[in-house]
Structure 1
Amino acid sequence: MRIASYNVNGIRAAQRRGFEQWLATSNPDVVALQEVRAQQADIPDGVYGAYHVAYDEGGHKGRNGVAVLTRQPVAAVRTWSGHVRIDGQAAPVGEVTLARGMREFAHEGRYVEVDLADAPLTVASLYLPKGGLPAHLQKPGRMREAPDGGAKYERKMRFLDAFARQLSRARREALAGGREFLLMGDLNIGHTRYDLTNWRRSNQVEGFLPEERAWIDAQISPRTLVDVLRAKHPDTDGPYSWWSWMGQAFDKNVGWRIDYHLASPKLAKTATAAWVDREPSRDARISDHAPVIVDYDFPNL
């Protein structure tokens, strides 16, 4: 089973740059998308080919939006908002009990979860807030954005706190139902020194703050969730999945690994290959992210 995670940074822009060809060529069985950034009515016809699509577009037009693409109709769909579009049409979703603190983010189009019909597997797509710097690290004139007193940082930390509880619940419910669990998406956090090029200078940069990295530490373990790509590429720089559009970051491979497959241990053990599908040149890029793809030798297909 080939499964991909891809932050497309806007499906309409991605289509113009070759997303449909990538989908047909890479031929994944399941795809988790983040930052689709389009209301259903604005999504180009045919962009997803013959795949079935479960999509939470969120309540902020032109922002966020997460989807899971599958070859077969899914057995169940769950979102935090209680709203979803399946193959373009509004559809009922399974009941989700939100963890404490999660309601603040429920209508932002950041999470969708499906149970596959052709395998005992729950797949989730997540787009985690980018965040910002805490107030004491904000220095006017040295920031691209105006100082905000730490508001974006504090909001991200509230999300992380609430989502840790939500993630534990989702994982446990999947396993209790006889399904393995796979969380994919853009976590907007580089976990270790191997996950970004300039790590020595980044301890005071959003996305690599010690408390953000500690949060990932707390989510992964041999008994809970496994970082599949890192398990396949231990103690190796990268492979990176995001590069700035600016300058020569892509050409010089100055990047970050912020896109993940976090799998339940039994599922992780079936991974036979894991890689980042990096385009051959800057001009060929579809998004500022590249897809993270894993082949799982998963039973019952």
Structure 2
Amino acid sequence: MRIISLSVDGIHQAAQRGLYTWLAEQDADIICLQDLRAQEYEVDTEPFHLDGYFAYFFDSGIEHYNGVAIYTRHQPKALIYGLGFSSGVDMEGRYLQADFEHISVGSLLAPSATSELESQEVKIKFFDDFQAHLNKITRKRRDYIFCGNWAMAHRRQDVQNWQDNDSNSGFLPHEQQWMDQLFNQLGYVDAFRRVNKDSDEYTWWPAGEAGKGDGWRTDYQVTSNNLKGRVEYGVVYKNQQFSSHMPVIMDYDIELS
């Protein structure tokens, strides 16, 4: 099974840059997109529905603000819109989940704490609630792959010139600690790091263009611990730029049904 995930900085702009032509050539089983910045009715046209895929969208209800999508060759048994936090803070980001027989795949856009509509307090609350959610679902007889823009980097090797960025949102001490807890205490797995240990594999450039400014690795595919042995291949696609983020392509030894 191949999963591609990408935060697009606006789906119309990404389409104009050739995203859908590229996706049609990748033979992915599932495609998770984030930060659509479009309402669902705006993407109910070509080229936003790929041949051979079921397409699902969860917009923000606010024009030109966040939104996520999942494209899948296999029709899900169920869809979950949002994370259902009682605080409602999950709606400051966006989350859409497709459930298959024994596995669920989620497209996640976390609050970034870098826009007027977001704050560091909102981001902290979101990830506190998300951690509780992840801890709860570890007891379910189901495996998960969470794909998306997590708006934070884990380790120094994930931030170019980390010394100049350790006071910036996305690499603050409590954010690094949260990622440590995710992987070390809750037992989830950074799928990309299972197969690629290189220190220059960045997925996001805050300056807006790859190679300009510092690169960060903020885009992850995070799996249940049971799937860590199923990760076969991972790459950050760098040959073409569709947004300030780069696509993450992961192959898993998994058959969907």
TM > 0.5 fold call: yes
CA drift of 1:127 comes to: 0.5
Q: How far apart in 1 are the matches of 2:49 and 2:159?
A: 31
What is the aligned-residue identity percentage? 32
Of residues 91, 106, 111, the one that matches 2:95 is: 111
Match of 2:47 in 1: 46
Partner AA of 1:28 in structure 2: A
The alignment status of 1:239 with 2:224, answered yes or no, reads: no
Match of 2:132 in 1: 165
CA drift of 1:252 comes to: 6.1
Of residues 239, 244, 253, the one that matches 1:288 is: 244
Match of 2:102 in 1: 120
Match of 2:57 in 1: 55
Of residues 211, 218, 222, the one that matches 2:174 is: 211
Q: How far apart in 2 are the matches of 1:72 and 1:8?
A: 23
Q: How does 1:261-276 map to 2 (within 5 A)?
A: 261-276=221-236
Which SS does the other structure have where 1:295 is aligned? strand
Q: CA RMSD in A?
A: 2.3
CA drift of 1:172 comes to: 3.5
Bigger Cα displacement from structure 2, 51-60 vs 218-227: 218-227
Match of 1:74 in 2: 76
Q: How does 1:131-146 map to 2 (within 5 A)?
A: 131-132=113-114
Match of 2:120 in 1: 153
Q: How far apart in 2 are the matches of 1:219 and 1:153?
A: 19
Match of 2:8 in 1: 8
Q: How far apart in 1 are the matches of 2:85 and 2:213?
A: 38
The alignment status of 1:64 with 2:66, answered yes or no, reads: yes
Of residues 180, 193, 199, the one that matches 1:230 is: 193
CA drift of 1:41 comes to: 1.7
CA drift of 1:300 comes to: 5.9
Match of 1:84 in 2: none
Q: How far apart in 2 are the matches of 1:22 and 1:70?
A: 16
Q: How far apart in 2 are the matches of 1:31 and 1:38?
A: 17
Judged with a 3 Å threshold, the aligned counterparts in structure 2 of structure 1 residues 59 and 109 are, in CA distance, closer, same or farther, namely: farther
Which SS does the other structure have where 1:38 is aligned? coil
Which SS does the other structure have where 2:174 is aligned? helix
Match of 1:182 in 2: 145
Which SS does the other structure have where 1:26 is aligned? coil
The alignment status of 1:194 with 2:142, answered yes or no, reads: no
Partner AA of 2:136 in structure 1: R
Q: How far apart in 1 are the matches of 2:214 and 2:96?
A: 31
CA drift of 1:222 comes to: 8.1
Q: How far apart in 2 are the matches of 1:220 and 1:42?
A: 37
CA drift of 1:100 comes to: 4.5
Match of 2:21 in 1: 21
CA drift of 1:251 comes to: 3.2
1:100-125 residue CA offsets vs partner (Å, 9 max, x unmatched): 53x2333x460011112xx5210011
Q: How far apart in 1 are the matches of 2:166 and 2:153?
A: 11
Structure with max Cα Rg: 1
| TM-score normalised by length of structure 1 | 0.78
The alignment status of 1:31 with 2:31, answered yes or no, reads: yes
Partner AA of 1:105 in structure 2: D
Judged with a 3 Å threshold, the aligned counterparts in structure 2 of structure 1 residues 253 and 23 are, in CA distance, closer, same or farther, namely: farther
Q: How far apart in 1 are the matches of 2:57 and 2:11?
A: 12
Count of residues in Structure 1 that have an aligned counterpart in Structure 2: 255
Judged with a 3 Å threshold, the aligned counterparts in structure 2 of structure 1 residues 167 and 223 are, in CA distance, closer, same or farther, namely: closer
Q: Any unmatched runs of 5+ in structure 1?
A: 81-95, 133-144
Partner AA of 2:62 in structure 1: H
Q: How far apart in 2 are the matches of 1:57 and 1:168?
A: 26
CA drift of 1:238 comes to: 3.2
